[in-house]
């Protein structure tokens, strides 16, 4: 069902984004692999080993013009955008009283405005096609909040509001828009936490294990395949939030 579809994954050089890109490649999808810093040659090779096209595109999702140019390039080189996975995200954790304006703005710019930029430009192509699936990476923190993450939680709560609004606007044209809210997934992002913080997290997970990137990737593929699910936030968190 997904074979031959064109899938954009942002921030796909490592972590969850990389796993999502590989999972869609395994389904026979062509991958537009957005990355910000260095070209992820090993990931590109792995994607191509599944006999699909991989189009690597370097750029910053928080740049509105970059998002526009990316869609133009994808339209020209692949013809359509069937699935958009807005995965690129950052953290700049700090307690509220010590959080700088820059720490707040940078997280909102990448996580929330970056998602808006990509959705805004992809949706004009999807509207013409009268089909498409948009999947946004939120976080359980955007649902329940977290001390030390006022910026990040606000950005992810914003992503959830954006997801539901986009779902309502675009449903009549056969376009779905959903969010995945991971809990604690083992990646470079969570590796920055102290051993004590990690222990505390584990204690809050009923299934008693950290999430793996593949746990999230499987849900992204599921949401792309199901044309009758929209406006939902799927917690993938070992039962952390229920």
Q: Is 139 in the site for ligand NAP (CB under 6 A)?
A: yes
Starting at the earlier edge strand, list the strands of the sheet with 30-35: 54-58, 30-35, 6-9, 83-86, 132-137, 175-182, 233-236
Q: What angle do CA 130, 217, 55 make, to 5 degrees?
A: 65
How far is the C-alpha of 2 from the C-alpha of 25, rounded, in Å?
10
Q: Is 173 in the site for ligand NAP (CB under 6 A)?
A: no
Q: Which of helix, strand or coil describes residue 151?
A: helix
CB of 130 to ligand NAP, least distance (A): 28
Task: Give the per-residue contact string, 141-170, with ligand NAP (x = CB under 6 A; - = no).
Answer: ------------------------------
Q: Is 214 in the site for ligand NAP (CB under 6 A)?
A: no
Stretch that binds ligand NAP, among 11-19, 124-132, 168-176, 217-225 (CB under 6 A): 11-19
Residue among 132 and 182 whose Cβ is closer to ligand NAP: 182
Stretch that binds ligand NAP, among 29-37, 46-54, 116-124, 223-231 (CB under 6 A): 29-37
Residue among 127 and 204 whose Cβ is closer to ligand NAP: 204
Phi, then psi, of 60 in degrees rounded to 5: -105, 120
**CB-CB contact of 169 with 200 (8 Å):** no
Q: Which of 22, 184, 219, 238 binds ligand NAP (CB under 6 A)?
A: 184
Q: Is 10 in the site for ligand NAP (CB under 6 A)?
A: yes
Q: Which residues are catalytic?
A: 152
CB of 241 to ligand NAP, least distance (A): 11
Residue among 40 and 132 whose Cβ is closer to ligand NAP: 40
CB of 6 to ligand NAP, least distance (A): 19
Q: Is 13 in the site for ligand NAP (CB under 6 A)?
A: yes
DSSP 8-state symbol, 87: -
Interface of this chain with ligand NAP, residues 42 to 101, rule: CB under 6 A: 60-62, 87-90
Q: Which of helix, strand or coil describes residue 218?
A: helix
C-alpha distance from residue 191 to each of 11, 15, 187, 195 (Å): 17, 11, 6, 9
Q: Is 123 in the site for ligand NAP (CB under 6 A)?
A: no
Residues 6 or more apart in contact with residue 20 via CB below 8 angstroms? 9, 12, 85, 87, 213, 216, 217, 220
C-alpha distance from residue 135 to each of 46, 81, 146 (Å): 22, 13, 23
């Amino acid at each position: 069902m997904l074979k031959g579809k064109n899938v954009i994954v942002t921030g796909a050089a490592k972590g969850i984004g990389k796993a999502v890109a590989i999972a869609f490649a395994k389904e026979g999808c062509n991958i537009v692999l957005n990355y910000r810093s260095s070209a992820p040659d090993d990931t590109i090779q792995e994607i191509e080993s599944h006999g699909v096209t991989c189009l690597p595109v370097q750029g910053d999702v928080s740049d509105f013009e970059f998002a526009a140019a990316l869609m133009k390039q994808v339209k020209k080189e692949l013809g359509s955008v069937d699935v958009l996975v807005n995965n690129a995200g950052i953290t700049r954790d700090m307690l509220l009283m010590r959080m700088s304006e820059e720490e707040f703005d940078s997280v909102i710019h990448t996580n929330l405005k970056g998602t808006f930029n990509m959705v805004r430009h992809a949706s004009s192509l999807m509207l013409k096609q009268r089909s498409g699936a948009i999947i946004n990476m939120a976080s359980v923190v955007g649902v329940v909040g977290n001390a030390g993450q006022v910026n990040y939680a606000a950005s992810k709560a914003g992503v959830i509001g954006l997801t539901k609004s986009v779902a309502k606007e675009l449903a009549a044209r056969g376009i779905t828009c959903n969010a995945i809210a991971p809990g604690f997934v083992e990646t470079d992002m969570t590796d920055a936490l102290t051993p004590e913080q990690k222990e505390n997290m584990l204690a809050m997970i009923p299934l008693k294990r950290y999430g793996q990137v593949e746990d999230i990737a499987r849900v992204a593929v599921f949401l792309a395949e199901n044309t009758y699910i929209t406006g939902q936030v799927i917690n993938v968190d070992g039962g952390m939030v229920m």
